[in-house]
Structure 1
Amino acid sequence: MLKSADVVAGLAWGDEGKGKITSYLASSGKYNYVCRWAGGSNAGHTVYINENKYKTHVIPSGVFHGIPSIIGPSCVINKTSLYSELEYLHDNGFDIHLVKISPRAHIVTDEHILLDRERLAPALGTTGSGIAPAYADKAARCGVRAEDYLPKSMIWDEKLEGNVLCEGAQGVWLDLDWGNYPYVTSSTTLPYGACSLGIPPQKINRIYGVAKIYDTRSGTDPIFPESLLEDQILSRLADLGEEVGVTTGRRRKVQWLNLDKLIHSVNMTGTTDLIINKCDILDKLGVYKIIYNGRVAQFNSLTDMIGFVKARLSERCHLLKNKLFSSSPLTL
């Protein structure tokens, strides 16, 4: 019997450190399943286990902790990428039999990838992984599903019991509906998407919203103009934070934390527990700025900046119970 579900969701443009948070929570021993609810191999998660660094794309982080890891029905699967990821995990000593795929998940074909790379990647800066064409065929009712394509041994029986941890991909401002369309992903990134796993909304308990102390964006988006790459201070911040995409290897554009957008995403997602990562990176830079009420505000220290951010969040985010500012890539 399903008892409850917790959700980890990105509050920005992806790359917030959701993999770290999911792995940390999964290590508690509380959860019986870790499930991914949307997206595909276009996403990238970085996890540290015993100080060793691992990178995954579509496989949930529960596999690192011996927990059944489910790729849900709203995900899209590139068979080649999936098998490569499974081989990588097996070679590093993890039990890949824990990974199961929903029979309803759709398959990314070679034709999808070719179409993405020829038409979408040049115009929108996509990863060229075939994600949008796969979702387009799903909506057009002409897609191929995992149950018709993958071995039965890999297929999930669609049962969830006990406590479930739902792992999101990307972030609020890449959501198909809420992002800066058309510079968006092709799926739902908000926490309600976790219900596509067959979880009733009433079973959702805590929502862990994840952000960084500064904003980053991969791909094309007028909100993040190319000129940001030429800003010396922000470029230095990108270097310190190693802001390079896990999937594409592209350098991410960096901007000061937009507190207005963060407050909006916290409220829209119903975040109960907020984790803001990479505070140590901003402290190494020694420049402390945010965007608030449409203007850049500067502070004398990280302590002063965090104090201001906490106060504004407390004033304007009434569902928020806990706020944590993290300075470690390994733990909270």
Structure 2
Amino acid sequence: MYLFILILRNPISTLRFLYTWSTLSVIVILRRILVPHISQYQSTRVQLQRAYLLSCSSTFPDLTHRLPVGQVSQVRATPIGTTGFIGYVIPGSQSPILDGLTKSFHRTQCVALYAHGGGYARGEAKMYMNYMERWVQKARESGLDLVFLSVEYPLTDKASHPAQRDAFLKAYQYLLDQGISPDNIIFMGDSAGGGSCILSSIECLSTATKNRQLPQPAGSILLSPWMDMSMRAFNGGNALAATDYVNANRDIPILVKKWLQDKVAPTSPQVNPLYRQPVEIEGLNPQLILVGAAEFTLPEAKDWAALCERAGVRHRLVCEWGQLHNYALGSAWVEPAIRNRTDASIVSWMQMCLGGN
């Protein structure tokens, strides 16, 4: 319904979107037909996906994930509102798992505390319901009861750093206050949400936070994490913008400025985990890093994995050939084999972390 309203209200932008998408798609197909002997890095499917997402980002950015989500039944998403944060239990029909976890520690039950992406400036907690429901089903097939608590943190038009991280930590504190063991909790997030998971995990290591009794969660799952506010990969321009759909060379500096508002230096360890010393992240929970090899966050994902290596933090870095930003969400554009392989990695990482191995 929202899609049709958007089209009716913006006829000129709609024509521009259709023109851009169709033109880029024709170029992809013609290149395959006319110069088949020229090696190409990305598959036709990925290039057509990029054509669609590029068209969205230049005309209707919210179309990428069909925002806003609007009203949904509590069977799919049950709202939770307490002091300091708002969130949704997804799927809502599995919320009794939260009650069951307060009684005893079960290695077959997991709460994924989720921070959505959007550069801290866009997005909402319910925007990945379809993906979360798929992960819940995949986990169930592997004998794992999984439920998500997706955090509705304030966007940068309302508040700058550290409001987003603090909302995430308040949601974590809420779970702990319910009697849920940290051994049952996984931090999970995409893009800026992945960065927020890292910052929150590091905050749990600090002396001040330890006094608030915030332990490390069982593990973290980072989907295309965005964390390098210093933009080192953009010195001279980030060439990966040519294979990704995010106009990173233009948009990332804007998003950084909105989030920091010149209150914190982009190289400060408080906002940029890549400027931490290895000793500062010793004891961090296990980190699964999933990144597309054609996306703009690839350099910082590799840098974070290298820092974890030096600090002795258990981690796994997966660079999927030719894939775009947030490929690990597993949208309909992603090849089924890649989606299934990625889902299996996510579920197995959860099981490994819950098992304490």
Q: If the length of structure 2 is used for normalisation, what is the TM-score?
A: 0.31
Structure having the larger proportion of residues in helix: 2
Structure having the larger proportion of residues in strand: 1
Larger relative contact order (CA 8 Å, sep ≥ 6)? 1
Q: If the length of structure 1 is used for normalisation, what is the TM-score?
A: 0.33
The structure with the largest alpha-carbon Rg is 2
